[in-house]
Chains A and B, each alone.
Chain A
């Protein structure tokens, strides 16, 4: 497809488990962003990639969160030892350059039991 693709669309897991969320950006987009959308917190920036490098990880809430990007394309956000407060919709966006408008995926709805 032509848009940003995220998988899975929904993920339910038990507290303490690790989860991996995947983002496939628009082909050719060099910039990739992860955001989190939760009740009461709105949309929060997590991490930004330019190519495979992450010059800004300032939004990652704790060291349980990490992300990587390979081949300048697909990115994976990993949450270790999940907690209930991690429940949210995790959104991925990509843009052609850092100053171009961002295009968002449908998100992954993560529920921690």
Chain B
């Protein structure tokens, strides 16, 4: 069974401070991990995908298969980063698998001025 755990429901930091949103997963196959973000009164949107290995809005995330983690990091948080962040696990790449997503419970990030 697939499971995604985001241990922090709420996370508060000050502007300019580093931020790390934790995500752990459980999946027996080849995982495909995503971070989605939902800003206030906006739709859920893709932030990062692990296979892209890119930095979006200063955020990065590295898949650690040994620790089954996909933590989201940003060295200097900005007020506009305040939002709900969801970690999500895809059913796996290749074969007949498809993109059904299993989401974590989400972390509300608040960046104070």
Q: Give A residues with C-beta under 8 Å from B.
A: 3, 31, 33, 35, 42-45, 48, 50, 55-56, 91, 95, 98-107
Contact = CB atoms under 8 A, between A and B. Distances in A.
B43 A104 contact: yes
Interface stretch (B16-24, B61-69, B72-80, B100-108): B100-108
Interface size class of B (residues with CB under 8 A): 20 to 34
Contacts of B40: none
Contact of B90 (A42, A99, A106): A99
Nearest to A100: B99
Contacts of B11: none
Interface of B: 32, 34, 36, 43-46, 49, 86, 88, 90, 93-94, 97-106
A3 B46 CA distance: 13
A45 B46 contact: no
Nearest to A42: B105
A99 B99 contact: yes
Nearest to A106: B43
Contacts of B45: 103-104
Given A99-B32, A99-B98, A42 B44 contact: no
